[in-house]
Structures are given as structure tokens and as C-alpha cells.
Structure 1
Amino acid sequence: MVTNKKVLVAYLDQVKHPKTERIRNTKPIRMQMKWRTKNNHDDYGVFLMLHMESYHGLKNWDCGLCVESERQKRELDLLRSKYAAKILLSDLNLIKNKFLKLVQVFEENSLDEKKKMIDYAIAHRKERESS
């Protein structure tokens, strides 16, 4: 939390924002949200997008997630799919058409071949991430 504040304050200093000093001297308070997790270290981007989408002020804020559980994992999986689809299919995505062509090629395969392609992609995920 402190590191994020330092980065924000450095940016505000750079752009000479009028409230830089006020923010520099503010002590951050961590909200106690019922959907907060202790064991999920992967979905911070999904949480961020959901929070941006659902935040309308602190009073009675509820983003719709249940407490940390298997059910919450399923909810996060659905949100990840939703956000990925919105990003991939956005008109702002410069490779949208390339992606749609890949989807079309994938769809032309049999169910068995699709499963093999998915299994291969999962098995070789680390190789793609490192390149």
C-alpha cells in the first residue's frame, strides 16, 4: 500500500497536481470488504476491474462477490472470461480481426481436436509466458 502511494505521489509531483501535499500526508486506510481474500494472489486484476465497474461510493458498497470460497473462485473465473472477451472483442484491440480468425479456425475442428488443442495450450503455457 505504501509503495503504491509513493508512486502516486511521485506522479502527482511530476504533473504539479494541486492536491499532491494533501495526498502525501494522508494515511491510507484499508477497507474491510467481505469479499477480501487471504489465499488468492492471482486475481488482483479481476478484482481491480470489478471494483472499478461496481464502485459508486463507500456507503453500502457491494461488488457482488461472496466471501473467499470455491463459489468465489467460480465467480472470479466467470468475471475473468467476461473481461477477457470484452478486451479481445473491443474495436480498440488492434489484433481483434487476427483473434477472430483464430477462433474461426478453432471452431472448424472436431470436439476431440479442440480438446487436444486446449490441453496442448495449457501444457505449454509457461513457454508462451516466457517468450
Structure 2
Amino acid sequence: GIVGVPPALTEQYRSLKCMSFMGLLPEVRCAWVSIDNRLYLWDYEAARARGEADFLAFDGLDQIIVSVALVPPRPGVFRSKVKYVLAVATAVEVVLLALAFEDDADALATVGQALASVGGGVP
């Protein structure tokens, strides 16, 4: 079936000032949407099973988010719960966020704090 955007997240669109983007991260069964400088993630498989979706939010950036991608973590750097690092790009920086997962499932549990930031403009 079709899984829609969580209703609570739809409410966030009312605060849109400039840009919004969205996409899928099938490796972690998540959809993402950026609303200006805020990023939201939700597990679309869990949403399909329960009929509703909780979402995680990250609002630690000052610039509009223009792209999001998953990258594998460097072995031995993170705890075993961190299976992917999320690269979040704006026009002036790329920020890396650790994605932690529940112990007993592959369900996304938390989005970590910014681990690294590369600035100076993104080509």
C-alpha cells in the first residue's frame, strides 16, 4: 500500500519559508524530508505496519538542506549500533550524522549529533 507523510510532519510544512526536498533511503527503510534547514526521517515500513509513523528530527544547521545521502561508517570508529552515517549537504557545508539503530531490530532509533562539518562552499 501507499504510505503517506506522517500527519505531524505535514504540520511542519506550514513553517516552510524557502525550500523543501525529499527522498528515500531504502538501505535503512527511511524516507526523509527537508524543510528549509530542518531534516526529518521516518521508517516507512513501520508506518505501513502500524498505520502511523514516528519521525526523527535534526535542526542543527543554519542553511537550507539541499541533499541527503547514506555512507558506510569507517570500521572501528563507531559503536556497533551505528550502521550508516548520514551526509547532509547545504550550499556551504556537508555535515555527517551517525544513525543509531535499536538493539533488537533494524529500526532507526536516533540521529546523532554532527560528527564533522566540511565548509567553504560545496561545489
Question: TM-score by structure 1 length?
Answer: 0.26
- Give the greater-gyration-radius structure (CA): 1
Larger relative helix fraction: 1
Larger relative strand fraction: 2
Question: TM-score by structure 2 length?
Answer: 0.27
RCO higher in 1 or 2 (8 Å CA, sep ≥ 6)?
A: 2
